[in-house]
Amino acid sequence: MNIQEFKDFACASIDYIADYCENIRNFPVLPSVAPGYLSRALPKCAPEKGEHWNHIMEDLDRNIIPGLTHWHSPYFHAFFPTGQSYPAIIGELFMAGIGAVATKWDSSPAVVELEVIVMDWLAKILGLPEEFLNCSEGPGGGLIQNAASESTLVGILSASHKKIQQFRIENPLMDEWEIRGKLVAYTSKESNSSVEKAGLIASVKMRLLPTDENGSLRGSVLEEAIRSDKINGLVPFCVVASLGTTGVCSMDNIAELGKICESEKMWLHIDAAYAGTALSCPEYRHLINGIEHVDSFNFNPHKWMLTNGDCSALWFRNTTYVELAFKTKAALSVPQFQPELEHRQIPDVRRFRALKLWFVIRIYGVEGIQQHVRRHIALANYMEELVSGDSRFSVVVSNLGVVCFRLLGDESVTQLILERIAMKKCIYIMPYYYKKQLLFRFVVCSRFSTRADIQKSWDEIVNATNEVLITIAN
Ligand code: PLP
């Protein structure tokens, strides 16, 4: 491909993406393809000779787009939002176009320095305490990771390293591997599966504790678990608390958990993958009451903050432990720049992810990000009103853009309605079992969503309900 062809392909691609976004409502949110459809449609081997980009675009239309779930459709209400916006798309383009990555600062100073700056901007946008900032006097700081799953793992590995060090001072006869076998971490049953997975990868026990009636992990439950594990000779070292669980977006009680972590010398990691973006609005800052006890804090701009994946922000109150855990002997040369981000992550190199975040923050401004959050929450409130206006349904939980509701009466009917909605493919919502009840879990995900879209999604649910009830009645 020569430079002119590159320009033509790029212009056509931007037009394509803009049209895709503009017309996203015209696509059924879920595809109608059978498993293996793509291997039947595409050649078995790579082309011998290079092809014209036109042919690839044709194949995109013919074979790829029909097999997609349209995650940015206003009728997509599953999982959580996945970040996307025009500035982030352009940011991704520049990331790829410049193609710079970094290990140490001298391998690409701007890649490292922009990340350090943007992470401080972001911490200030969320209202995190000064200690977490790269520019603070102390040992705190933040960086971008690939995913919340990876951030939790990095938090747990840092925490276990810290605990082993502490424990060996108090028990000098025990070796590291003996202590490792006794480490136990805690999270709630409502936390994301990535937390349990991080425990598996880190080879530590992970207790999944019950939550209260609001889906919140409380101090008394943690205290009891620690007491019984200590009696059994285990060494509690970490709590992973959720600020916005994946199911119903419930909040663990950081203040209660934090006090216990402090007195037990345990690490407190916060997984705010989705809900963290809400902290950009001062009216939600109370959610981080207790932040003074937190050791590491993570949220994903690639969820609700309009930034294409991957982009997961992780801050430490004290980066000493992650560096002790991750720094290899080979890395002991004198650094030209602080912080040395490469010792606070699992991969060797880092992509220039700060660039797209920088674009997003500058184009939207803090006000634009706040507006986006408030608009989504207002749309969720509208959905709550619609559900509450139909006496057959009852809203069970509504938190920060996530509305969970149930059909009164026999649960098997809910199952049939969900199946019917899935079959029609006009909207994408998910079932969720919460406190032994089967719920409709509805999330405002798309940045394109309007009140009319929410009304249309609700109408789909009502129609499916009517159809199922008529079928049952006959
Ligand atoms: N934590 C929470 C609360 C989540 O909801 C999710 C995903 O939805 C994750 C962690 C995992 O995020 P990631 O895909 O960035 O690892």
Q: SS3 sequence, 157-173?
A: HHHHHHHHHHHHHHCCC
User: Residue 324's CB: how many other CB atoms inside 10 A?
Assistant: 13
Query: What pLDDT band is residue 334 in, cutting at 50, 70 and 90?
Result: confident
Chain position carrying tokens 């009304």 = 455
Instruction: Give the residue-averaged pLDDT of 443-461.
Output: 98
Q: Against a cut of 0.90, is the pTM above it? A: yes
Looking at this protein, which amino acid is placed at residue 347? P
Query: What pLDDT band is residue 328 in, cutting at 50, 70 and 90?
Result: confident
User: Residue 81's CB: how many other CB atoms inside 10 A?
Assistant: 26
pLDDT for residue 146: 96
What ipTM is given for this predicted complex? 0.99
- 33-37, 281-285, 330-334: segment of lowest average pLDDT: 330-334
pLDDT for residue 169: 92
Q: Is the CB of 147 under 6 A from ligand 1?
A: yes
pLDDT for residue 385: 98
Ligand 1 test: best mutation among 144, 156, 192, 196, most atoms within 8 Å of CB?
Answer: 192
Whether the pLDDT of residue 60 is over 80: the answer is yes
Q: Is the CB of 246 under 6 A from ligand 1?
A: yes
Nearest residue (by CA) to ligand 1, atom 14, is 147
CA 242 to ligand 1: nearest atom: 3
Q: Is the CB of 146 under 6 A from ligand 1?
A: no
Query: What pLDDT band is residue 327 in, cutting at 50, 70 and 90?
Result: confident
Q: Is the CB of 108 under 6 A from ligand 1?
A: no
- Per residue in 386-422, pLDDT (tens digit) is 999 999 999 999 999 999 999 999 999 999 999 999 9
pLDDT for residue 255: 98
Please check whether residue 395 is in contact with residue 383, taking contact to mean a CB–CB distance below 8 angstroms: no
Whether the pLDDT of residue 331 is over 90: the answer is no
Q: Is the CB of 298 under 6 A from ligand 1?
A: no
Instruction: Give the residue-averaged pLDDT of 106-135.
Output: 97
Q: At CB < 8 A and 24+ separation, what contacts does 114-118 make?
A: 114/352, 114/354, 114/355, 114/358, 115/143, 115/144, 115/341, 115/350, 115/353, 115/354, 116/141, 116/143, 116/339, 116/341, 117/354, 118/354, 118/357, 118/358, 118/361
Instruction: Give the residue-averaged pLDDT of 29-42.
Output: 97
Q: What is the average pLDDT score of the chain?
A: 96
CA 330 to CA 328: how far, in whole Å? 5
Instruction: Give the residue-averaged pLDDT of 445-471.
Output: 98
Instruction: Give the residue-averaged pLDDT of 215-220.
Output: 98
Contacts of 417 (CB under 8 A, 6+ apart): 407, 440, 461, 464, 465, 468
Give the CA radius of gyration of the chain.
24
Tokens of residue 453, six digits: 């879209």
Looking at this protein, which amino acid is placed at residue 262? E
pLDDT for residue 251: 98
Ligand 1 test: best mutation among 149, 152, 251, most atoms within 8 Å of CB?
Answer: 149
Instruction: Give the residue-averaged pLDDT of 312-325.
Output: 96
Contacts of 265 (CB under 8 A, 6+ apart): 163, 166
pLDDT for residue 474: 87
Quote the Cα angle for 273-376-355, to 5°.
50
pLDDT for residue 332: 60
Q: How large a percentage of the chain has pLDDT more than 90?
A: 94
